[in-house]
Structure 1
Amino acid sequence: MGMRTIMSSYKIIIDSCGELLDDWKGDSRYESVPLILTVGGEDIVDDETFEQKSFLAKVAACPECPKSSCPSPEKYMQAFECEAEHVYAVTLSAELSGSYNSALLGRKLSLEEYPEKKIYVFNSRSASVGETLIALKITECEESGMSFEETVAEVESYIDSQNTFFVLENLETLRKNGRLSKVKALVASALKIKPVMGATKEGTICQLDQARGINKALVKMVDYVVEKTKDSGNKILAISHCNCPKRAEILKEAILERMELRDILVLNTAGVSSMYANDGGVIVVV
């Protein structure tokens, strides 16, 4: 803790679409603000009580499509009320969720009460481990002694450089919840055609490619990852998977065969990402 006295204190708040690293779970500098998931009239809070297996079983058994609702501005305001001098929030892409606007409003409310506080809200323009990597970047900047303003600039530039890719067994939840509204007509799932999806720079979802069967789609996704990642030796890549650790491990090996990376993280999707990715989905962000 010696350095901490010289360096300013910080706190990072991530909405629960972002996966927390194990190290962060007991650390008061990291807080997850939960979204609420609704399956057939039952509300499930996406916090440490979330159980992926039972959730997926409920979704499979329910004829209605599950839905998510974002945290209230008050929830963010409560999270912003802390001793830390520098407070950062990282949210789901503003194009996919109201979480970003909710956090901005929470910030406005906090600053009305504590005008001297430094609070910044990052629109990840991504989701899942994209948010995790942004939180990791904030941590690196803070730990290296950067000022609040330098950290914000560095992290915004990092978000600009980030790429998000995913391949899902099932796109129905995204489709039925209107998250694919900007995607051109997708091929019929009856043909076993699996689209390779990505996030645009604005944070909407787009289709990059397609392949027959999930394994071929994963191979194509790796091609995109390799092609789009400049200066990969300095980058951390993250994979999140929904209940398919073996698939994530194969994907990790395939990526490492093709590119140098500073580090590679593999995480299991939390609640929101489990809901949208569905059983068997994988997400890669670098």
Structure 2
Amino acid sequence: MNPYQIITDATADMDWKLWDTIVIPMEVRLNELVYLYGPNGTIRTEDFYQEQQTGGKTSTSQISPAEFHKVFEESLSRGMDVLYLGFSSGMSGTFQNASLITAELRERYPHRQIACVDTLAASVLQGYLVYEAARKKAEGIPLEELVVWVKKLREQAYCRFVVDGLDALKRGGRISAATAFVGTTLQIKPVLKINEKGLLQIIDKKRGRKKSIHDLLEYYQTQDKKTANGVVVIGHGNCLKDAKALKEALQEQYPNTEVILTEVGPVIGAHTGAGMLAIAFS
């Protein structure tokens, strides 16, 4: 079995030290200044949210074909195959850029395998899929089998998240200005998921922050037969206190469950705002 390298992008929210994976940084614009978010990046999550909450303008950019070429070739030139687990094609052109470069590199490295898997996910769901893939790799699974395994896990994984405010969703075109105004006035907190096409979808609305957070616990409880001894990732957008409370409530009922807390970084936070709380598992 030829050695291979798992590669993902900085939309995969996770404690990156937990896996043997290359994470490609992504551009974040804050008040027209360009930063890189990812390992050895130039912006910290807490600084990003602080600026965003005081009115800073935020946006993101997809990874360029040139950057994919550079990162992929670094592994290929060392005699390693490549598995890229990418940000949902339903939300960004990043995966298409990776696929474009893959076709070119296959001609240059005909004896190397390059596999690109669209996770149809983002944030903690993408991070969860990559984390589990890294665990399977450590067990010695061949690249071809891991591709099949990840695609199956992608179909079985669960993810739900809540946001504290509606302004970021309004700016991103996810909801109308009128909906945002009414929702803010009534303290409506949307509950969202990533659907089978890799798109954000509002599936419920709760009155107040506490009810929206409790919804995540109830969501996990409905799947308890499958997850009582599994791994759960809880992600938060600058609301660590809420994330810890959800973790404690979950582990009180399911003490054998491993819970990983992670930040929701600026790439996703630019579109969801501070206060996002998410849960992912399978």
The answer to whether TM tops 0.5 is: yes
Say which of 30, 36, 39 aligns to 2:21: 30
Contact 2:8 2:85 in 1 (8 A): yes
Q: Which amino acid aligns with 1:120?
A: A
Structure 1 stretches of 5 or more lacking a match?
Answer: 1-6
Task: Tell me if 1:53 matches 2:46.
Answer: yes
Offset, 1:221: 2.2
Q: Which has the larger displacement, 34-43 or 211-220?
A: 34-43
Which amino acid in structure 2 is aligned with residue 37 of structure 1?
Answer: V
Report SS of the residue matched to 1:188. helix
The separation in 1 between residues aligned to 2:83 and 2:166, in whole angstroms, is 31
Between 34-43 and 69-78, report the one with greater CA deviation.
34-43
Aligned residue among 86, 90, 95 for 1:95: 90
Describe how 1:129-144 pairs up with structure 2 within 5 A: 129-144=124-139
1:68 partner amino acid: T
Deviation string 1:20-54 (CA, Å, 9 cap, x unpaired) is 43535xx8x52221221122321121133321222
2:156 aligned partner: 161
- Report SS of the residue matched to 2:122: coil
Structure 2 gaps, min length 5: none
In the comparison of the two structures, how many residue pairs are matched? 273
Q: Which whole-Å CA distance do the structure 1 matches of 2:221 and 2:33 have between them?
A: 41
What is aligned with 2:5? 11
Q: Percent identity?
A: 24
1:97 CA drift (Å): 1.2
8 Å contact 1:165–1:221 — kept in the other structure?
yes
Find the aligned partners of 2:94 and 2:168 in 1 and give their Cα distance.
18
Q: Does 1:73 align with 2:65?
A: yes
Q: Which amino acid aligns with 2:63?
A: P
Matches of 1:153 and 1:166, distance apart in 2: 27
Worse overlay, 202-211 or 255-264? 255-264
CA RMSD, Structure 1 to Structure 2 (Å): 2.3
**TM-score of the superposed pair, with normalisation by structure 1:** 0.86
Aligned-partner Cα distance in 1 for 2:225–2:271: 28
- In the alignment, residue 70 of structure 2 is paired with which amino acid? Q
Give the partner amino acid of 1:199: I
Distance of 1:59 and 1:273 partners within structure 2 = 13
